[in-house]
Structure 1
């Protein structure tokens, strides 16, 4: 299988040279998804109803902050719509990376139950090779591959192992969903046991886990540590997120932190009174600057780190 060329990302509109990404990156977002298992329509970003609002937010962030790239982690069983991602990307003028993989167990489609690790790997490899949907959009990342609890359930372990194997075959990185921040070390154990290098793993939702020791452990092993629910105050205060991020930076791991907002339902859109995709730039980063972060650190956290994660590059390469 051909891997992405060095320094090149696969986006929904084609290849993108990382050297052209001059502005910030949102490494864990959703632009179109459907996680509505309750029938209340809340956990939805439906393209036919919400695409205009999503596009308007991304356009404004490009114009105000130079937003250059969004990593869209809606995968199989989550209502993925790569055609909608392409329309949003073109209209907003912001590059978008699409994903493949499986979310955590409550959202697994039936195919996960009926397939073993080898067959699941083959499903992902086909999408990486041939693309998603009739337009053949090729994913640029695997994720968000999920688990819940301190140890992945058997079905979750199966999809994590398949994700690692497909990532190795396709030259991609893996972004995880660690429910409420738990289980990150076990996820990393499973992925690296399949010989996926730790620097090709981003462990998700660590800003929901108030345990700096776990964050240091993950970073010291070489994985990226995602503070990716910024602004979701019902889960965690930004004050706590800032404290946890500063602790990781002070421990010498600034090059392993990723920041994003994980907008995952229409109620989070600014049009509906939510914090929006821009909360990172308008709310959280000013607090980080007030705590002493300079322009170089902000650029590291919001541009260089996510690009290194996606490409597998070393710190010296961008």
Structure 2
């Protein structure tokens, strides 16, 4: 069954009409996370220890910039906690969309080893329709479904195909993790090869890839190009990110861009000296404005595009 895309957003506290989202959206973030494979506790946002700091940041961004929605892409095998997301959302009074899917192969959970594409797609559909665990929270996006390298491994290709089939069955869109920005064209080919329209796909971490040609190619095919690690200077400077973004905008693809910071460890939080979730608004967008982007472009990049992505709206629906 190919179900039409929804016109409302599935948030962790219930359905929300997309038209009611009047402020900016963070299109790829983590509020709760556990990617710790070294035992050092660095790649963690534990709800017991960090939710107060996370909530405080979201409150500040709602009050200062009107932050209305966070797309939270912690999925299976990444320490997802839907109940904690619901508490943070209610306390911050910022809507949150939760996710389901599988990250890239080192973080795959056991069911991916034994299930085939159709079985894994069925698991995602059941979660989309029945909720995440006992929380009752319905995921509102499939992601961040991942791969690493220029071509997904066999295991990664399997979960990408499963994500595409689940998207077709549920009407949800797919956000990917492209490790260090690589492999986006191969991801898009796999997903569209299953029949999923490109405008329901966001290819992740493209601001880590110094290849404007790939960015234009993805956008020209209709996919969203996620510049979603803004502020992560250890990977790339924001000056370089801005140049890559301006090249994509100048090529006529402003309607294909998503922006976010991908906060993925406690060291990135403001109270631990990091850039915080607000770096997009405080540190990056002022530079984009200085380069000539007006309020309409900023609204397109930070609100209208992510809403169109989440609802699966095509250009004709705009």
| TM-score (ref. length: structure 2) | 0.98
Alignment-derived partner of residue 277 in structure 2: 277
Alignment-derived partner of residue 249 in structure 1: 249
Cα contact 2:255–2:305 (8 A) shared by 1: yes
Measured against aligned partners, the alpha-carbon deviations of 1:80-105 in whole angstroms (never above 9, x if no partner) come to 00000000000000000000000000
Number of aligned residues:
318
Cα contact 1:76–1:101 (8 A) shared by 2: yes
- Look up the SS of the partner of 1:74 in the other structure: coil
Mark the runs of 5 or more structure 1 residues left unpaired by the alignment: none
Mark the runs of 5 or more structure 2 residues left unpaired by the alignment: none
Whole-Å separation in 1 of the counterparts to 2:312 and 2:98: 17
Cα contact 1:255–1:315 (8 A) shared by 2: no
Give the drift of 1:317: 3.9
Alignment-derived partner of residue 86 in structure 1: 86
Give the drift of 1:316: 5.4
Alignment-derived partner of residue 240 in structure 1: 240
Cα contact 2:6–2:172 (8 A) shared by 1: no
Alignment-derived partner of residue 261 in structure 2: 261
- Look up the SS of the partner of 2:242 in the other structure: helix
Deviates more, 1:156-165 or 1:102-111: 102-111
Alignment-derived partner of residue 76 in structure 2: 76
- Look up the SS of the partner of 2:71 in the other structure: strand
Match runs of 1:13-32 below 5 Å: 13-32=13-32
- Look up the SS of the partner of 1:176 in the other structure: strand
Alignment-derived partner of residue 97 in structure 1: 97
Whole-Å separation in 1 of the counterparts to 2:142 and 2:218: 19
Alignment-derived partner of residue 112 in structure 1: 112
Cα contact 1:160–1:191 (8 A) shared by 2: yes
Whole-Å separation in 2 of the counterparts to 1:286 and 1:314: 29
Alignment-derived partner of residue 215 in structure 1: 215
Whole-Å separation in 2 of the counterparts to 1:153 and 1:5: 29
Measured against aligned partners, the alpha-carbon deviations of 1:195-239 in whole angstroms (never above 9, x if no partner) come to 000000000000000000000000000000000000000001000
Whole-Å separation in 2 of the counterparts to 1:227 and 1:26: 11
Whole-Å separation in 2 of the counterparts to 1:44 and 1:6: 32
Whole-Å separation in 2 of the counterparts to 1:140 and 1:127: 11
| TM-score (ref. length: structure 1) | 0.98
Whole-Å separation in 2 of the counterparts to 1:2 and 1:188: 19
Whole-Å separation in 1 of the counterparts to 2:4 and 2:13: 15
Whole-Å separation in 1 of the counterparts to 2:169 and 2:4: 11
Alignment-derived partner of residue 159 in structure 1: 159
- Look up the SS of the partner of 1:96 in the other structure: strand
Alignment-derived partner of residue 124 in structure 2: 124
RMSD of the TM alignment (CA)?
A: 1.2
Whole-Å separation in 1 of the counterparts to 2:6 and 2:171: 10
Whole-Å separation in 2 of the counterparts to 1:169 and 1:254: 29
Cα contact 2:3–2:168 (8 A) shared by 1: no
Cα contact 1:82–1:132 (8 A) shared by 2: yes
Distance 1:130 1:36, change over 3 A: same
